Structure 1
Amino acid sequence: MLYGTPVLEAADVEVLDEIEDMRQDLRYRLAETHRWDGQLRRHLQARAIQGSNSIEGYQASVEDIQSIMAGEEPLDASDAVAKEIGGYQQALTYIALLSKAPFFRYDLGVLNALNFMMIGHHRHKTPGLVRPGPIYIRDSLSREVVYEGPEAALVPDLLDELIGWLNDGGLDLPSYVRAAMAHLNLVKIHPWRDGNGRMSRALQTLVLGREQITTPEFSSIEEWLGQHRVTVDYYDVLAAVGGRRWQPHGDTLAWVRFCLRAHHLQAQRVRQRLAEAGEVWTLLEGEVDRDGLNTRCVSALYEAFVSRRVRRSRYQADEDLSQGQAARDLRDLTAKRWLQPYGETKGRHYTAGPRLARLKEEFAERVTPLRDPYRREVRRRS
């Protein structure tokens, strides 16, 4: 027996309608080609990876995650953290492919494969194999057991039931509700020795992907969950709905609402970023033109604007330049005080110089409120 899907109330239906309206609106906006699209999407994916891994205690900057995604050595993240990030990125890449596969059914092999991709570097944790014994989740500070997974002997049948439901059950449910319930049931079954939280969040993304909800702002709430105050709420609602041990029931509305709220707020935030991206890019184009610089330099400035730093290799790849061209552009931007160089050789990177820093400060002073779709009150953007 799995945790059951709750009956939605009028407020939930209204929130679902608003999420879908935002999805359609952003789909039309993203259908138009913009110079900043690639960088914005890369940034969104990096933030999703950052959010899911930070929940598990693996901290890395968005800039280092983008380096890992590009096959580069991160500047600050440890080797151990880089392996976690790399494994999770590999799993998300496979999920993106599965989302578009013309023939697909959920099965244990797919789930085990995703778990192996995520934690395959921890061979002592038998990645990709269902746990053979009990599992206990402890509070990171008190070490008190806060959740005990179902007995190992029950796990194969529970996974079979979940997989059957994923393939054939609840097909008339709204996609976001179905994905939320997949997340809840997998994390409560806790079928592997490690990686269960990340796997459950990834499964939520896969369920949405199979519904062709694939853009990062709608297929993932991981960035939103990765915020400290939201992470606390995330664990609290899982504890409130799921209890301290496996005890499935149908009173799961609080969990579904938590996920719908997260989707709504994340979509609002991304819509703001998309609008800001166009404004920033246009502003930088004007500044580059006034300084007599090549228009392609806007790409480097935009990267430094939305991130803490830009690396020559990434700028070179984004603009399809030779190493010499990219290096000359970055030297010109440094001479014009748009960028500030740091480090040498492989560690060489550029951050916002005085002129770009002033522009960033002006935008940072803007506070755009996000509307909580349930409480109908304004929440400030972090």
Structure 2
Amino acid sequence: MIYCTPELEPADKAVLEEIEDMRRDLMYRLAEPHRWDGQLRRQLQARAIQGSNSIEGYRASVEDIESIMLGEEPLETSSAVTSEIAGYQQALTYIRHLSLARSFRFDAGVLHALNFMMIGHHHDKSPGTVRPGGIYVRNSATGEVVYEGPDVENVPALIDELIDWLNGGDLDQPSYVRAAMAHFNLVAIHPWRDGNGRMSRALQTLVLGRDRILTPEFCSIEEWLGLGENTVEYYRALREVQGGTWNPHDRTLSWVRFCLRAHHMQAQRVRDRLAEAGKVWLLLEEQVDAERLHPRCVSALYQVFVSRRLRRGTYQSDESLSQGQAARDLRELAARDWLTPYGETKGRFYAPGPKMQRVKADFAARVEPLRDPYLTGTAAR
């Protein structure tokens, strides 16, 4: 027996309606292509990868993750963390393909394959295969055991039960609820020696993708979960329902509510970023035109607006330029005080210059707090 889907209350249904309204709004906005869509999507995916991996202690900047996604060497991230990021990106790429596949059924092979993609570089951790023995989750600060997974003898049968449920269980339930329960059951089963948390969060995204919520980078809650106190609340929400050991029951409403709240808050963030992107791009177009710069320079300026830095290879790839063209544009932008160069050769990057810093400060002052859907007040970003 696995953990059961709870019965929702009116407050939960109201939050679900608001999430769906925001999702439809995002879908309509994205139906019309914009110049900034590609960069925004890439950054949102990088933030999701950052969030899920930071929960496990693998920390990298959004800028380095974007470099890894583009096949570049990161500037600050260690080779060990780079391997974790690259593995997770590979798994998410596969999930996007599976979300769009015409013919698909969940099976154990898919889950084991995703786990192998994530941790295949850890040959000593039996990637892609069921753990050989018991498993204990410890508090990283105290060393205390906070959760003990089910006996290894029961794991294959529990995976099979979860697979059966994924393919045919609770199909009348909202997608976000089924995805939350898939996440919870997989992390509670804890089938592998490593990667269980990341796998569970990725499975949540896959369930949403298969239910035709087809933009995983916009519906994932991984970025939200990786933000400071949210990570603490995430572990607290898991432990409240788990109770320390594998003990399936139907008192899972608090977990589902935690996930619905996270989806709502993350959707607000993405909605605000989309609105900001249009305003920023138009402003930068005006500035580029006023200074008689090439129109493609807006792409470089926008990347520096949403990020701490820009590398020549990223701009070159985004605008399909030669190395020389990209280098000349960036030198010109630096000469006009839009960018500030740092480093040399492969380590060279461009940070916001004085003009861009003023633009960023102006938009930072306009940020509105997010609204907690289960409360009447607001929550910090």
Aligned equivalent of 1:86: 86
Which secondary structure state, in structure 1, belongs to the residue aligned with residue 341 of structure 2?
Answer: strand
Q: TM-score, normalised by structure 2?
A: 0.99
Aligned equivalent of 1:296: 296
Aligned equivalent of 2:371: 371
Aligned equivalent of 1:201: 201
Amino acid at match of 2:202: A
For 2:345 and 2:218, locate their aligned partners in 1 and report how far apart those are by CA, in whole Å: 39
Q: Do the aligned residues in 1 keep the contact of 2:209 with 2:216 (CA within 8 Å)?
A: no
Which secondary structure state, in structure 1, belongs to the residue aligned with residue 260 of structure 2?
Answer: helix
- CA displacement, residues 99-126 of structure 1 (integer Å, 9 cap, x when unaligned): 0111111111100000000000000000
Amino acid at match of 2:178: R
Q: Do the aligned residues in 2 keep the contact of 1:217 with 1:266 (CA within 8 Å)?
A: no
- Asked if residue 67 in structure 1 is aligned to residue 102 in structure 2, the reply is no
For 1:18 and 1:349, locate their aligned partners in 2 and report how far apart those are by CA, in whole Å: 41
Aligned equivalent of 1:138: 138
- Asked if residue 9 in structure 1 is aligned to residue 9 in structure 2, the reply is yes
- CA displacement, residues 270-308 of structure 1 (integer Å, 9 cap, x when unaligned): 000000000001111111111110010000000001000
Aligned equivalent of 1:106: 106
Q: CA RMSD in A?
A: 0.8
Amino acid at match of 1:268: Q
Which secondary structure state, in structure 2, belongs to the residue aligned with residue 146 of structure 1?
Answer: strand
- CA displacement, residues 302-330 of structure 1 (integer Å, 9 cap, x when unaligned): 00010000111110111111111111100
Which secondary structure state, in structure 2, belongs to the residue aligned with residue 134 of structure 1?
Answer: coil
Aligned counterparts, 1:1-382, within 5 A = 1-216=1-216, 218-381=218-381
For 1:261 and 1:342, locate their aligned partners in 2 and report how far apart those are by CA, in whole Å: 41
Q: Do the aligned residues in 2 keep the contact of 1:217 with 1:270 (CA within 8 Å)?
A: no
In the alignment of these two chains, the number of paired residues is 381
For 1:334 and 1:310, locate their aligned partners in 2 and report how far apart those are by CA, in whole Å: 12
Q: CA deviation at 1:216?
A: 3.8
Q: CA deviation at 1:228?
A: 1.1
For 2:218 and 2:45, locate their aligned partners in 1 and report how far apart those are by CA, in whole Å: 12
Q: CA deviation at 1:168?
A: 1.1
For 2:217 and 2:78, locate their aligned partners in 1 and report how far apart those are by CA, in whole Å: 28
Which secondary structure state, in structure 2, belongs to the residue aligned with residue 337 of structure 1?
Answer: coil
Q: CA deviation at 1:215?
A: 1.7
Q: Do the aligned residues in 2 keep the contact of 1:217 with 1:267 (CA within 8 Å)?
A: no
Amino acid at match of 2:137: I
Amino acid at match of 1:121: H
Which range is displaced more, 80-89 or 361-370? 361-370
Q: Which runs of 5+ in 2 are unaligned?
A: none
- CA displacement, residues 1-28 of structure 1 (integer Å, 9 cap, x when unaligned): 0111100000111111111111111111
Amino acid at match of 1:148: E
For 1:310 and 1:375, locate their aligned partners in 2 and report how far apart those are by CA, in whole Å: 39
Q: CA deviation at 1:245?
A: 0.5
For 1:93 and 1:263, locate their aligned partners in 2 and report how far apart those are by CA, in whole Å: 21
- CA displacement, residues 148-180 of structure 1 (integer Å, 9 cap, x when unaligned): 000000101100100000011111110000000
Q: TM-score, normalised by structure 1?
A: 0.99
Q: Which runs of 5+ in 1 are unaligned?
A: none
Q: CA deviation at 1:217?
A: 5.3
Q: Do the aligned residues in 1 keep the contact of 2:305 with 2:352 (CA within 8 Å)?
A: yes
Q: CA deviation at 1:218?
A: 4.4
Gap change, CA 1:161 and 1:216, over 3 Å in 2? closer
Q: Do the aligned residues in 2 keep the contact of 1:130 with 1:191 (CA within 8 Å)?
A: yes
Q: Do the aligned residues in 2 keep the contact of 1:44 with 1:216 (CA within 8 Å)?
A: no
Which secondary structure state, in structure 2, belongs to the residue aligned with residue 321 of structure 1?
Answer: coil
